[in-house]
């Protein structure tokens, strides 16, 4: 594999490993920041829902206080109390019991006994109040200090109410409070009702109780739907602490329960914002906040009974819970989008690194490839070459050392060539001198020196081989 490709591969592998680490860290940080953002939004939304519920409770208190402040109500209560005050305790209790029995057994609403209450001046006033907001008001009725109903917008099941939990809850042994009666489903109005009960006093003397039943289903659902339309990342729910849903878009009140995992969390903590794995194995960011009655009115209580003669699905928990649940897809989309974006960024960066690595490899390997070519030329004895580069650092130093080596080789080779030439010249001179010393310059025939040398040589050979030796002498003149 060529050096530039090796360099590119090595750089690519190292860069890929580094990018994987960086992308992983980036993903973790991004997901963590996104989760914090979702957690903040969840906390803000559940707080918004809580404020909405508290605002409505404030509104209900204002309504009952305005209605109960009527002079007519006070005068009628005083008048009724004066009548019952004249009776002994035993006679009064007997009278109330008899009236209550007659009321319950009388089914004809046109009966004079019924009409005396439903058509009296106080009842007519209560009816006029109800008609101002008939979509909101259920029954409105008033009892004297002995619990006897003296005015009502409708024939209720009973006439006597002093033994009712809501009546006693509001009276509170003389320390009166605003009592919210979580009645659940009320047969008399055909929907979920919240009763608002207030004790009435004149000069710190208890004179009676007023109760206004508020139809909360439509009002709460309207708020929930409006908030869901504004915040489309989750859903708002109002429930009881046991998980029984009071208001949720698309759900009939008190017919469904929250997810079991959410109910378990509500049992553990009154206020919570965080991630919960539901029974469907999906993760949801959830906000839970108890509606604090003390924030609504210092002297207010939310209570009720699971059922009574005229309602069912009531609650004695004494609390409502505001819940905000993010859509599971929000978290899933966050994970997917983060992974997708980081993967795309990673691929782009890796591609860029590979391209840069290739060009860097080319830039790094080219001087070495050129140097390899110079080495080949030197091995072929070509020393007259220009070994130079613009590279810096170790490559530049290597080129400089190689150039010095080539220069020294060139110098050494030149010296060797000159020495060889000198030797050849000397050999030629010596050969020529040897020929001159053994031949006659004119005839180019061996002279006396050569004769003596060869004669002595052949005489020695003849003596060693025991052979004969002959000598022929020519005397040539005038040639």
Kindly list the distances between the CA atom of residue 165 and the CA atoms of 34, 169, 309, in Å, as whole numbers in the listed order: 48, 6, 12
Q: 146-157 burial, b if ≥16 CB within 10 A, otherwise e?
A: bbbbbbbbbbbe
CA dihedral in degrees (178, 184, 185, 189; nearest 10)? 10
Kindly list the distances between the CA atom of residue 459 and the CA atoms of 409, 447, 466, 469, in Å, as whole numbers in the listed order: 54, 18, 10, 7
Cβ partners under 8 Å of residue 413, min gap 6: 381, 383
Residue 215 class from Cβ within 10 Å (0-12 exposed, 13-18 middle, 19+ buried)?
buried
Up-side HSE of residue 336: CA atoms within 13 Å toward CB? 6
pLDDT in tens, the chain (479 residues): 565 566 666 766 777 777 777 777 877 777 777 778 888 888 999 999 999 988 888 889 999 999 999 999 999 999 999 999 999 999 999 999 999 999 999 999 999 999 999 999 999 999 999 999 888 898 999 999 999 999 999 999 999 999 998 999 999 888 888 999 888 877 666 788 889 999 999 999 999 999 999 998 888 889 999 998 888 788 999 998 889 999 999 998 888 999 999 999 988 888 999 888 888 778 888 999 988 766 565 566 776 665 554 545 556 667 889 999 987 666 566 666 666 777 777 777 777 777 777 666 666 666 666 666 667 766 666 666 666 666 666 666 666 666 676 666 667 666 666 667 777 787 887 777 777 777 877 777 777 777 888 888 888 888 888 888 888 877 777 76
Give the Cα separation of 392 and 371 in Å (integer).
14
Q: β-strand 300-303 against 178-186: which pairing, if any? A: parallel
Sole residue written with tokens 């859903």:
235
Dihedral sign for Cα atoms in the order 351, 354, 360, 365: negative
Kindly list the distances between the CA atom of residue 102 and the CA atoms of 110, 119, 234, 312, in Å, as whole numbers in the listed order: 14, 18, 53, 24
Q: Which two tokens stand for residue 379?
A: 């091995």
Whether the full predicted model's pTM is greater than 0.85, yes or no, is no
Give the Cα separation of 413 and 403 in Å (integer).
15
- Give me the residues paired with residue 143 across strands: 149, 209
Cα distance between the two ends of the chain? 83
Up-side HSE of residue 212: CA atoms within 13 Å toward CB? 26
Cβ partners under 8 Å of residue 350, min gap 6: 12, 15, 16, 19
Cβ partners under 8 Å of residue 355, min gap 6: none
């Amino acid at each position: 594999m060529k050096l530039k490709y090796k360099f590119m591969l090595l750089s690519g592998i190292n860069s890929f490993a580094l990018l994987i680490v960086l992308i992983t860290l980036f993903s973790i940080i991004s997901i963590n920041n996104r989760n914090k953002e979702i957690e903040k939004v969840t906390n803000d939304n559940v707080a918004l829902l809580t404020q909405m519920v508290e605002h409505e409770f404030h509104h209900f208190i204002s309504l009952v206080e305005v209605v109960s402040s009527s002079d007519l109500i006070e005068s009628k209560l005083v008048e009724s109390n004066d009548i019952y005050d004249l009776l002994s305790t035993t006679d009064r209790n007997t009278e109330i019991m008899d009236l209550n029995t007659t009321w319950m057994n009388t089914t004809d609403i046109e009966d004079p006994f019924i009409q005396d209450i439903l058509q009296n001046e106080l009842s007519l006033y209560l009816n006029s109040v109800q008609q101002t907001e008939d979509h909101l008001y259920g029954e409105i009725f008033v009892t004297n200090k002995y619990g006897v109903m003296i005015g009502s917008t409708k024939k209720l099941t009973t006439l006597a109410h002093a033994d009712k939990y809501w009546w006693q809850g509001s009276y509170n042994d003389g320390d009166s409070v605003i009592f919210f009666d979580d009645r659940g489903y009320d047969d008399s109005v055909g929907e979920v009702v919240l009763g608002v009960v207030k004790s009435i006093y004149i000069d710190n003397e208890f004179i009676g109780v007023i109760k206004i039943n508020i139809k909360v289903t439509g009002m709460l659902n309207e708020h929930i739907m409006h908030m869901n339309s504004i915040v489309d990342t989750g859903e708002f729910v109002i429930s009881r602490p046991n998980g029984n849903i009071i208001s949720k878009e698309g759900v009939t009140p008190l017919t469904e329960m929250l997810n079991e995992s959410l109910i378990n969390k509500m049992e553990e903590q009154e206020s919570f914002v965080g991630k919960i794995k539901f029974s469907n194995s999906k993760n949801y960011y959830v906000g839970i906040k108890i509606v604090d009655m003390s924030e609504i009115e210092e002297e207010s209580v939310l209570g009720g009974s699971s059922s009574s003669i005229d309602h069912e699905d009531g609650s004695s928990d004494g609390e409502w819970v505001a819940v905000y649940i993010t859509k599971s897809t929000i978290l899933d989309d966050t994970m997917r989008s983060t992974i997708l974006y980081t993967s795309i960024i990673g691929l782009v960066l890796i591609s860029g690194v590979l391209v840069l690595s290739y060009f860097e490899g080319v830039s790094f390997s080219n001087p070495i490839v050129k140097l390899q070519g110079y080495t080949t030329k030197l091995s072929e004895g070509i020393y007259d070459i220009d070994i130079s580069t613009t590279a810096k650092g170790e490559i530049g130093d290597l080129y400089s050392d190689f150039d010095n080596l080539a220069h020294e080789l060139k110098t050494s080779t030149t010296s060797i060539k000159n020495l060889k030439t000198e030797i050849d010249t000397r050999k030629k001179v010596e050969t020529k001198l040897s020929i001159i010393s053994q031949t006659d310059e004119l005839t180019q025939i061996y002279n006396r020196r050569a004769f003596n040398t060869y004669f002595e040589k052949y005489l020695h050979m003849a003596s060693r081989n025991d052979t004969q030796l002959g000598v022929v002498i020519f005397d040539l003149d005038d040639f």
